[in-house]
Every structure is written in C-alpha cells, then in structure tokens.
Amino acid sequence: MSILDDNVIIDHDLEVQQQKQLIVAWIKGLYAEMQNRHQTIWDLLWNSDKATPQEILNAFGADAAQLFITSAKIQELLSMGGNYNVLIPPKEYIISEDGTVIIKEN
C-alpha cells in the first residue's frame, strides 16, 4: 500500500487530536498576546516618562472610567487562564459619576 493510493485510511482520531492541539495553541497565544498588550497599556498609564497618570486620564476625559473597567475585565479573563498576576494600581483612585478618574495623591 502506498500513501498515494486513493484508499489510504486516514486516522480520524489523529486528525481530531491535531485540531485540538491547534486550538489549544491558538488560545495560549491569544492569552499571551492579551497579557502583553494589557501590560503595555498599564505601563503607558502608570510608568510614562512623558506625562503623569493624572494627565493621561484627564486626556481621556469622561472615558477614563472605561479604561479601568476594561482593564478589570481583561484581567478577569486573563486570570481564568491561570498563572496570571493581577495588576493593582500603585495609587488609589476615584471614578466620578461623569466617568472621569481622579488619582489620590498619598
């Protein structure tokens, strides 16, 4: 029997396992990419040498709260993947009713 024969039997279970492995690899890659991008956003806000966190949040205006809400949801998703250290803001902050954010100076 040759692999070029039309009647070669393909192991369907093997194909299923290969598909599973591809899905797992893509999910792991997605988690890694999401974690890297979230860390970059975090650093741009909290560790910028160009502006203070408050200046950056002021630039967001009423959308600043959404930054914190989105970050929390991303971290919740990342923590589902295990082995993720949740990022905690280095300073306390207040989310105002209008969506702006005020960083408390200690």
The pLDDT tens digits of the residues spanning 54-96 come to 999 999 999 999 999 999 999 999 998 778 889 999 999 999 9
Whether residue 3 is contained in a domain is answered as no
Whether residue 86 is contained in a domain is answered as yes
Buried b / exposed e over 17-52, threshold 16 CB at 10 Å, is: eeeeeeeeeeeeeebeebbeebeeeeeebeeeeeee
Whether residue 40 is contained in a domain is answered as yes
Whether residue 4 is contained in a domain is answered as no
Count of domains for the chain: 1
Range of the domain at 17: 12-103
The SS3 of residue 15 is: helix
pTM here? 0.79
Whether residue 63 is contained in a domain is answered as yes
Residue with tokens 């979230």: 38
Query: For residues 104 and 91, what is the distance between their CA atoms, to the nearest angstrom?
Result: 7
